[in-house]
Structure 1
Amino acid sequence: MFSSTPTEKKAAANTIETELEPGTRKATDGAKEDTNAAARTLDGWETASGLKKLAEIWNQQVKTLMGRLSAEKTSLRGASGLFVRNDVRTGGELRSLGPKSKLEGL
């Protein structure tokens, strides 16, 4: 038995889509704006160039995180259907073998 049902997988995917992705995007956009504002304030100082470099690294990490969330969401939705299709196919294959047990038909 699997530790989660198709319904639970769908709910988890929906949570990623409706809560985690928008919340992460909002939080990261705020941090990006604050970092850029600090870099503008310190323009001409070495600290400004350090903050700009940090912002580049941050942006790449955010892209990686958002990609991972999207991939997890897609995987959850795909796994749900895959398990159902696999169960249906396996059941069909077993039924096609016909009665093998001496107990069948009693």
Structure 2
Amino acid sequence: MFGSTPAEKTAAANTVETELEPNTKKAAAGAKEHTSAAARTLDGWETASGLKKVTETWDRQVQMLMGRLSAEKASLRGASGMFVQNDVHTGDGLRALGPKSKLDGL
């Protein structure tokens, strides 16, 4: 038995979509905005160029994290569908094998 049901996988994918992705995007944008503002305030200082570099690195890392969240969401939804399809296919194959069992209909 797997550790979660298709419904639990769907719920987890929905949480990624409705909570994790938007909240991560919002937090990332806020951090970038504050860092960029600090860099503008310190324009002409070495610190400003360091902050600009940090912002570029931050952007790449956020992009990677958002991609990872999206991939996890797709994997959860895909796995849920695959398990259901596998169960249906297995059931169809067993029904096609032969005579009815006394357990049919129970």
Q: Is 1:57 matched with 2:57?
A: yes
| Number of residue pairs aligned between Structure 1 and Structure 2 | 103
- Give the letter for the 1:21 counterpart: E
CA offsets per residue over residues 42-85 of structure 1, 9 Å max, x none?
Answer: 10011100100110000000000000001111111111111000
- Over the aligned positions, Cα root-mean-square deviation in angstroms equals 1.6
- Give the letter for the 1:53 counterpart: K
Q: Which runs of 5+ in 2 are unaligned?
A: none
Q: Is 1:12 matched with 2:17?
A: no
Task: Report deviation, 1:105.
Answer: 4.8
Helix, strand or coil for the counterpart of 1:51? helix
1:93, 1:10 → 2: CA distance?
A: 26
Task: Report deviation, 1:37.
Answer: 0.3
1:105, 1:33 → 2: CA distance?
A: 69
Runs (4 or more) in structure 1 with deviation over 2 Å come to: none
Aligned partner of 2:82 in structure 1 is 82
Q: Is 1:39 matched with 2:39?
A: yes
Task: Report deviation, 1:95.
Answer: 2.0
2:85, 2:7 → 1: CA distance?
A: 15
Task: Report deviation, 1:90.
Answer: 1.2
- Give the letter for the 1:62 counterpart: V
TM-score (norm 1): 0.91
